[in-house]
Structure 1
Amino acid sequence: MKIAEIEIYAIHLPLYEPFIISYATYDYMPSIIVKITTDTGLVGYGEGVADEHVTGESWKGTFEILKNTLAPKLIGENPMNMERIHELMDAEIYGVPTAKAAIDIACYDVAGKALGVPVYNLLGGRYHEEFPITHVLSIAAPEAMANEAEERVAAGYRSMKMKVGTNVADDVLRIQAVRERVGEDIAIRVDVNQGWVNSANTLLGLQKLQDCSLDWLEQPVRADDIDGMVEVKSKSSTPMMIDEGLRGVRDMREIIAKRAADKVNIKLMKCGGIYPATKLAHMAEMAGIECQIGSMVESSIGSAAGFHVAFSKKIITSVELTGPLKFSKDVGNLHYDVPFIRLSGKPGLGIDIDEQVLQELTVFSEKVSG
């Protein structure tokens, strides 16, 4: 089996409402969809959602790198040879994990379909039967975030992830408002997206949040400030999670060596896809660090890929892949049993792609073949 053709689609995924985090507001999510067709007629889909603030990649840049650099190199290759696929991509261009993730995911989709098994069976088999879904609260006024949290609890959600990161004083009010509204039995995870900048600001905020019983605090300091995370972790009893500070193996080695986190957030778009994500999970497991699989707010394609990794690994204890629940139109049909996610046993990623919707959401596209 060989890759005969790679189609690349630059699309805009429409959101029900704007998604607001510390460094950006999204009215829609720009995404790149990759469609691999093999000489046997099998088709696999992958996705790359770039974030300039995390990996330095852009939507248009990712499209161009796929079109001009990666796709031409992979025509004629066997998509099941994952180590070789990544070696070829890494030899052709340094970094660009989002572009590589799109190819990686499409290859796994094809491989699963070729063997008639779900992707998680290619990663060690299924370990988890289900994961609870955490509702993500965009940054808003304290009252508005508390109201939304209350509504989601009424709908059955048992955990909230709060996006904060404007300034410490305002964020403390937001967190306190949500905790007061939902009570003590609902898990609250706080994601600062680097917005508190340094360890001093973070420790000040945590001092004021001692009574809020946070599950964990995620990436309060700048991504590259691993030492700042070490200081916060050593001076606070609140569990610490690293997100933007973990991209690949080198970051994971430093996090482990310095004991910089209680938990890490692995994202396929940051590390280069399913194959590198499993390597990071294995490293974390050896160091006794729990993992979460997170997302850049991807469609059903990228979200399904993340779920397959999560469902196959014992060390992955939480997921945050809620993109499809935020889109008013999606290219795939990943099914959520809200407030849970339970994967099907269908081959590959286990989802169907609506080609008509894909064309409708496409801004521009390109086809690469031998």
Structure 2
Amino acid sequence: MKIAKVDIYGIRLPLHEPFIVSYDRYDDMPVILVKIELADGTVGWGEAVPDQHVTGETHHSVMQILEHELAPLLKGLSPFQIELIHKKMNKKILGNPTAKAAIDCALYDLMGKITGQPVYQLIGGKAHDFLVMPQVISIKSPGEMAEDARRIVGEGFRNVKIKVGTDAETDIERIRAVRNAIPKEVNLRVDANQGWDRISAVTVIEKTKDCLVDWYEQPVLAADILSMQEIRRVSHAKVMIDEGIHGTGDLLNVIQNRSADMVNIKLMKTGGIYPALAMASMAEAAGLPCQVGSMVESAVGTMAGAHLSIARDIIQSNELVGPFMFSKDVASVSFDGDVLRFPELPGLGVEVNEEIVKELMEVHITV
């Protein structure tokens, strides 16, 4: 059960339509897949989807870090040595959580395949009976976003999240247009992706008080914890922190300053499932409900997040929307309406189509 080889694939996944948030536009999604192979031929898959606005990593930097710094550390180790491997990675290079997450998820995939168990069984078992998926609407005109919302609800989705964060007045129009387009029983979440300042955030939240927003996510810049605290103090709705926390140190700061009501845990920010479990436990101790978010990941990263989500009671929502957004993916994820179906397979439960990987591949490196 020793690691013998690591393959790194740089690919681009095509989107049904451009994905637009406050800080960037994505016409396709640059993704890095990692395949770790044991001496007996067993393979595990992991994924990195870097966002330079969040972790400072790019597609090219993650490829380089994986090839030259992290993958060489794995040779001869067992995938079950997850604590040691994370310690080695953190000693080798500071930060770079997205690169580390790709390795972490591949290790969990291997552990599940070796034991014949789905990953959620290795990290606590099912804490929830099922996972309900939302749909996410990227930034468009208020009318276009309302039309998207109507379509999404018509397809059976019970949770709608909208991206905003350009200017306050237009964002107010967007929120109102979407709320008016969907039934009151459909949950609405709003994500500014750091797009507002403190005054704008307070203004938008106050002027959309009647729109029944479940929570407002990351209204201000990631490092502005004090503004988050002030916004939370006057907000009628919950305030979620996302880009402002990457690890347990950040989360401790948020807890001490009472700067959020909820926490968005993303594997690409934390460095994978193993450190994400520590964050979930810390949040639970502080009474902060969690969401597992996504950098718009393929079926590989999506299922890694799903296993984490279903295994922790404190994780009460998710945003694992990648499979809905891609016109072609490297593996399939099954849904019953807006409910994710966990396959009866060990590991992450994904069967990667390596022919599609080759078709979409720009770079392939073997270490």
TM-score by length of 2: 0.99
Q: What residue identity is the alignment partner of 2:279?
A: L
Q: Does 1:352 align with 2:351?
A: yes
SS in 1 for 2:334: coil
- Taking the aligned partners of 1:330 and 1:168, their CA distance within structure 2 comes to 35
Q: What residue identity is the alignment partner of 2:227?
A: G
Q: What residue identity is the alignment partner of 1:281?
A: A
Between 122-131 and 237-246, the greater mean CA deviation after superposition: 122-131
Question: Cα offset for 1:6?
Answer: 0.1
Q: What residue identity is the alignment partner of 2:127?
A: Y
Q: 1:307 matched to which residue of 2? A: 306
SS in 2 for 1:309: helix
Equivalent runs, 1:1-370 vs 2, <5 Å: 1-196=1-196, 198-368=197-367
Question: Cα offset for 1:296?
Answer: 0.2
- Taking the aligned partners of 2:137 and 2:332, their CA distance within structure 1 comes to 23
Unaligned runs of 5+ in 1: none
Q: Provide the identity percentage.
A: 49
Q: How many aligned residue pairs are there?
A: 367
Question: Cα offset for 1:343?
Answer: 1.5
TM-score by length of 1: 0.98
Deviations 1:68-125 (A, max 9, x none): 1101111111111110010010011110000000000000000100000000011011
- Taking the aligned partners of 1:125 and 1:186, their CA distance within structure 2 comes to 29
Deviations 1:228-261 (A, max 9, x none): 1100000111100000001011101011111111
Deviations 1:33-80 (A, max 9, x none): 000000122100000000000000000100000001101111111111
Question: Cα offset for 1:339?
Answer: 1.2
Q: What residue identity is the alignment partner of 2:165?
A: G
Question: Cα offset for 1:183?
Answer: 3.0
- The alignment's C-alpha RMSD in Å is 0.8
- Taking the aligned partners of 2:313 and 2:47, their CA distance within structure 1 comes to 25
- Taking the aligned partners of 2:101 and 2:51, their CA distance within structure 1 comes to 13
Deviations 1:346-368 (A, max 9, x none): 10001101010001111011000
- Taking the aligned partners of 2:111 and 2:237, their CA distance within structure 1 comes to 41
SS in 1 for 2:308: helix
**Equivalent residues of 2:102, 2:272 under 8 A apart:** yes
Unaligned runs of 5+ in 2: none
- Taking the aligned partners of 2:131 and 2:235, their CA distance within structure 1 comes to 28
**Equivalent residues of 1:22, 1:195 under 8 A apart:** yes
**Equivalent residues of 2:333, 2:341 under 8 A apart:** no
SS in 2 for 1:336: strand
Q: What residue identity is the alignment partner of 2:40?
A: T
Between 165-174 and 120-129, the greater mean CA deviation after superposition: 120-129
- Taking the aligned partners of 1:299 and 1:265, their CA distance within structure 2 comes to 19
